[in-house]
Amino acid sequence: MPSRESYEVRKGEKSLVHKAKQEANQQDILAAALGMSISGPQKPPATIWQPLKLFAYSQLTSLVRKATLKDNSLPHKYEKVHNFKVHTFRGPHWCEYCANFMWGLKAQGVKCADCGLNVHKQCSTMVPRNCVPDLKNVKKVYSCELTTLVKAHNTKRPMVVDMCIQEIESRGLKSEGLYRMSGFSDSVEDVKSAFDRDGEKTDISASAYEDINIITGALKLYLRDLPIPVISYDAYPRFIEVAKLEDPEKQQEAFREALELLPAAHSETLRYLMVHLKRVTLNEKDNLMNAENLGIVFGPTLLRAPNLDAMTALNDIRYQRQVVEFLIKNEDILF
C-alpha cells in the first residue's frame, strides 16, 4: 500500500505537469495574439518568455485603459464658460482666482450662477472655461442651457433627448404623422413639469402617456426652449450658407466644416437626433414622414436666426428645412 508521502509526491508532480501545460497554452495564445510563432524546436526559453509575457500583459492593459478612456472621455471634454452675475457678498470674501480680498459693501464681485465660483469682476475674464455646474444650482431641465445641463448630470446628451427618443423608438416609429401630429398641449406641459421636477426618474411610458404624440411634443418643446439652439447662433450663418450651395460634393464637405463649429455637447445631441430621424424615415411607409417632412418640422426648432430682421428670417426658413433634410439623409457620412 503506497505511503502518504509517495501519494503527496505524485500529487505534486501532477500539479507541476498541469501548471506547465497551462503555461504552455498561455504562451501559444499570447504568441498568436502578438503574431509570433514560438512552437517547436525554436520555442524560446523561460528567460525570453517571461519578459514577453510581461510585455503582452502591459499592452493588453494599455488597450483596455485606452478603450475605457475613449468611452468615458466625451462628457469631460465639453467646455463651458462660467455664467457670471454681479453679486453682493455678505461678510468677508476672497476671490477664488487671485486669492485677494473683495473690497466694498455691495456688488464686490461676480458669482457663477451655475457652479458658484466667486471672483473679482476683472478676474472673471481670465478664468478658464472649466465651469462644472452644481446640480443644486441647476433648478430645471427645460430652458437650461444645453452644455450646462449635460455637465451638471455628467452625460453625453440631455436626458430628455435620450429618454424621449428611446420611448418613441420602442413604440412609435410606425405611428402615422410622427412629429407632425401634436399631442394635447396640457399633457405636453405636464411632461415638461415632470422632467423639471423629477429629472431622469420621470415616467413617460405608455402607462403614463399612451399617446406617443405627447412624447414627441415634449421633445420638440425641449429643443425649442433651449436658450441657445442645438445649431448654435454662432454657427447658424455658416449652415445657411452651406444650404445655398448647389454642388453636392462641395456641400457635403462644407457641412462637415460647419459641424465643427458646434460646441461638443450640441454636436453630440445633433448627431443622436439625426440618427433617430433617419430611423423614422426608414418607416416612411407607415408613418408617412420622409426627410423633407421632418426638415419642415425640425428646421425652425434646431436653427433659429440670431437677431435677424423679419424678412431675412422668413427667407431663411427654406434653408433651415434644407439643412435638416441634408443632415438626416447623410447622417452616416457627416457624423
List pLDDT tens digits, range 90-144: 878 778 778 788 888 888 888 887 777 788 888 888 877 777 766 566 678 999 9
The winner for highest mean pLDDT among 17-21, 29-33, 115-119 is 115-119
* CB of 184 closer than 8 Å to CB of 243: no
For the chain, domain boundaries: 78-137, 146-180+226-334
**pLDDT digit string, tens, across residues 41-59:** 455 555 555 555 544 444 4
Q: Any idea which fold 78-137 has?
A: Wheat Germ Agglutinin (Isolectin 2); domain 1 (3.30.60)
Helix (H) or strand (E) holding 84: strand 84-87
- Is pLDDT of 247 > 80? yes
Share of the chain above pLDDT 70, in %: 74
User: H helices then E strands: how many in the chain?
Assistant: 14, 3
215, 178 Cβ separation under 8 angstroms? no
pLDDT mean over 230-245: 95
Q: How far apart are the first and last CA of the chain?
A: 76
CATH 1.10.10.60 fits 146-180+226-334, yes or no: no
How many Å apart are CA 48 and CA 71, to the nearest integer? 35
Amino acid at 281: T
CA distance 72 to 69: 5
Does this model's pTM top 0.85? My answer is no
